[in-house]
Chains A and B, each alone.
Chain A
Amino acid sequence: MKDIARQRMSISVETMDLLNNQIKMEAHASASYLAMASWCDQNAFTQSAAFFYNQSVEERSHMMKIFQFVNDCGGSAMSPAVGETNHDFSSLEEVFETALEQEIQVTKSIHNIVNECKKNNDYNVENFLQWFIVEQLEEEKTMRDILDMFDLIGRDGIALKMIDERVTISEGEGETE
């Protein structure tokens, strides 16, 4: 008996499920950042708005990276349904805190998949996810650095304006990644 299934697909169906779940998570992150961008725009935090618009594009590019990988492996990538997205924030600080929390959840999820790959000797996927591990570390640091500014500069009107001016899109980030 030929190994047709293995000829067609180089990952296990369980790994494919985990990756499809990750696709959903990145899509949700993209939608969530778009909501944050909108909140920042409406509250005149223009730099932060630009930052979140860019984050939103980045998350979509992460989604596409995994999406194409699943199909390249012979699996079937599923176009994700994105559910409700939160648009309510009480402060700029809360926006960035939510962003950091979201990144931490994504990091945990990526680590979980790598963990499963290690257990199942799934070297291809483990190797593929290395890029995401590095990326997540950077993303968490970016959010943490911005949150630190609230402690350093303050939380009143002018402080918020100063923080917003310091929120920049770092070099090399965005669509091209």
Chain B
Amino acid sequence: MVLVYKSQFYALYQNDAERCYYLDFGHKTVKFSFCQLLALRHKINSISITSHFDASMNKHGFEVLTLCNKSHLFVFNTLEILDLNQLIQQSLLAVGISIPHNAVACVY
């Protein structure tokens, strides 16, 4: 397994033989297909991090995420979500599927 990227709390590895990825959450390592990794990215991008700083919206600052088509359930705090976001962004850059500098404009 090759390390793709390591953030403060997590690490993503690529397994060439199985053509998949392994995400090390510290206490647990989960196997991800590429599609599942995309799905995780989408879930993280959909989180409103500002709600974590507003007690009326997200009182305890936790996010509950189900991963890999509901095979796993995780609870993350604000820092962990930010770190996971960093891990996904940097990993996609490292595997060459994301455009460096991320300067893509969106009109809508």
Contacts and interface: CB of A to CB of B under 8 A. Distances in A.
Contact of A12 (B14, B20, B99): B99
Dominant SS among interface residues on chain A: helix
A70 to B, nearest CB: 11
Interface residues of B, number: 24
Given A5-B34, A21-B108, A112-B107, A14 B99 contact: yes
Chain A contact-residue range equals 20 to 34
Contacts, number: 68
A3 interface: yes
Contact of B41 (A13, A109, A112): A13
Interface stretch (B57-65, B79-87, B90-98): B90-98
B102 interface: yes
Contact of B38 (A2, A3, A13, A24): A13
B92 A17 contact: no
B51 to A, nearest CB: 18
B104 A109 contact: no
A9 B108 contact: no
Nearest to A10: B97
Given A4-B16, A9-B34, A75-B38, A17 B104 contact: yes
Interface of B: 2, 14, 16, 19-21, 34-35, 38-39, 41-42, 92, 95-99, 102, 104-108
